[in-house]
Amino acid sequence: MTGQSATMLAAHVHGPGDVRLDPIAIPTPGPGEVVVRVAACGICGSDLGYIAKGSLDGVHPLATPLPIGHEFAGTVVAIGAGVETIAVGSRVAVNPDRGYIGCGGNEGAMASHIRVGPAKLNDTLFLLPDHVTFAHAALAEPLSVALHGLRMARVNPADQVAILGAGPIGLCAVAMLRHMGAQNIAIFDRVDSRLERARALGAHLAVNVTSETLPVALARFHGSGDRFGSPYVGTDVFVDAAGSGAALTEVFTHAKKGARIAVIALHKAPVPFDLFRMMANEITLVGAIADDRPEEFGEALAMIAADAAALAPLISHSYPFDRFAEALTVAADADKAAKVMLTFAGQTA
């Protein structure tokens, strides 16, 4: 570990479309904290959104530059006073929830080192088995986001599930449903390359909505019926990982009695709902932000440890941190990218 006076480059959002690698001091741990040397950090759609909007919500301007990066794993290189259960040299994945790491907090993981606190095993820090790579471990964050949404919707293996959107979170939902034993997973998108990844991860039906509409495809795959003179599809659970108001409205129009809908996407505008249909068909709508999910984070890591090879389609690109701008450009290309990983010098991702 370099001294306190040493500096590193860290990604900060300064305003709309303005992200910079700023030189800042390498952190040192305070009481109850550790410093992690980052080995791999995924680029999330929310990171791209913060950059585009210039803030967390695009409404309230930043008072200070916003550090980003919250999907990461690395090695503990320093510990603060009072930390007894975690040793220097521990390989860890980090649950970013407690300090809102990379999502409004004071720390961001798009940097070579990051301070993490409180340092608590199986809450903020999760030890990695030797065979789990840092890049795979960094997938625990988006996988647990998807898992949290599935838990909120009370998904069970017998459910027929439809996922809107085959971006990284939609793909993570496929992976977690496969892990749960679901047998009737459908996914919808407009990009064929994303749908190919979904099939490789275990989707049983992957449909480009420019070729076949969602209600037609789901009636064919999950069955259909009629209630109060309106047709419905037999899908038990819908997972919104697309953030499309039109797609969510279409789901409400065709959802059966008792259907559950989980919204884990970031919607950029209000969406009107047919509340009569929601009432008459007893539809359950839940949101899932996944900001308190140590149990799901641990379950995602256990799945990674058991079957990391099955997750290969999730990681489409890996770039060294000194190619940060290129990595962002590729991550924003829906046709090229799934999960894009940043790696750091001196670490094997």
CATH number of the CATH domain containing 227: 3.40.50.720
Task: Say whether both 238 and 319 belong to one domain.
Answer: no
Task: Say whether both 88 and 171 belong to one domain.
Answer: no
For residue 283, being part of any structural domain is answered with yes
For residue 51, being part of any structural domain is answered with yes
Task: Say whether both 125 and 53 belong to one domain.
Answer: yes
For residue 89, being part of any structural domain is answered with yes
pLDDT at 209: 97
With a cut of 70, say whether residue 2 has pLDDT above it: no
> For 274, which DSSP code?
-
For residue 147, being part of any structural domain is answered with no
- Across the chain, what does the average pLDDT equal? 95
pLDDT at 286: 96
Average pLDDT over every residue of 161-165: 98
CATH number of the CATH domain containing 17: 3.90.180.10
CB atoms within 10 A of CB 92: 24
Average pLDDT over every residue of 22-30: 97
What is the C-alpha separation between 167 and 172, in angstroms, rounded?
9
The rounded Cα 301 to chain-centroid distance in angstroms is 14
Task: Say whether both 251 and 307 belong to one domain.
Answer: no
What pTM value is reported for the model? 0.94
Final residue in a domain of this structure, among 266, 287, 308: 287
Task: Say whether both 276 and 216 belong to one domain.
Answer: yes
**Residue 1: band (very low, low, confident or very high) from pLDDT cuts 50, 70, 90:** very low
**Long-range contacts for 252-256 (Cβ within 8 Å, ≥24 apart)?**
252/277, 252/278, 252/283, 253/215, 253/277, 254/214, 254/215, 254/218, 255/281, 255/283, 256/225, 256/227, 256/232, 256/281
Final residue in a domain of this structure, among 251, 272, 287: 287
* Type of residue at 108: G
Q: What are the structure tokens assigned to 5, written together?
A: 């006076």
Task: Say whether both 70 and 40 belong to one domain.
Answer: yes
Q: What are the structure tokens assigned to 65, written together?
A: 């530059």
Cβ atoms of residues 27 and 119 within 8 Å: no
Query: pLDDT higher for 65 or 4?
Result: 65
What is the C-alpha separation between 38 and 109, in angstroms, rounded?
7
Task: Say whether both 52 and 87 belong to one domain.
Answer: yes
With a cut of 50, say whether residue 46 has pLDDT above it: yes
Final residue in a domain of this structure, among 287, 309, 325: 287
pLDDT in tens, 96-136: 999 999 999 999 999 999 999 999 999 999 999 999 999 99
pLDDT at 201: 96
pLDDT at 302: 96
For residue 349, being part of any structural domain is answered with no
For residue 348, being part of any structural domain is answered with no
With a cut of 50, say whether residue 3 has pLDDT above it: no
Task: Say whether both 52 and 122 belong to one domain.
Answer: yes
**Residue 59: band (very low, low, confident or very high) from pLDDT cuts 50, 70, 90:** confident
Task: Say whether both 178 and 222 belong to one domain.
Answer: yes
SS3 (DSSP) at 225:
strand
Q: How many domains does the chain have?
A: 2
**Residue 348: band (very low, low, confident or very high) from pLDDT cuts 50, 70, 90:** low
Which structural domain range is residue 210 located in?
Answer: 154-287
pLDDT at 347: 65
pLDDT in tens, 203-235: 999 999 999 999 999 999 999 999 988 899 999
For residue 86, being part of any structural domain is answered with yes
Task: Say whether both 338 and 249 belong to one domain.
Answer: no
b/e 60-75 (16+ beta carbons within 10 angstroms → b): eeeeebbbbbbbbbbb
What is the C-alpha separation between 332 and 197, in angstroms, rounded?
17
For residue 148, being part of any structural domain is answered with no
With a cut of 70, say whether residue 5 has pLDDT above it: no
Task: Say whether both 103 and 179 belong to one domain.
Answer: no
Task: Say whether both 268 and 321 belong to one domain.
Answer: no
With a cut of 50, say whether residue 73 has pLDDT above it: yes
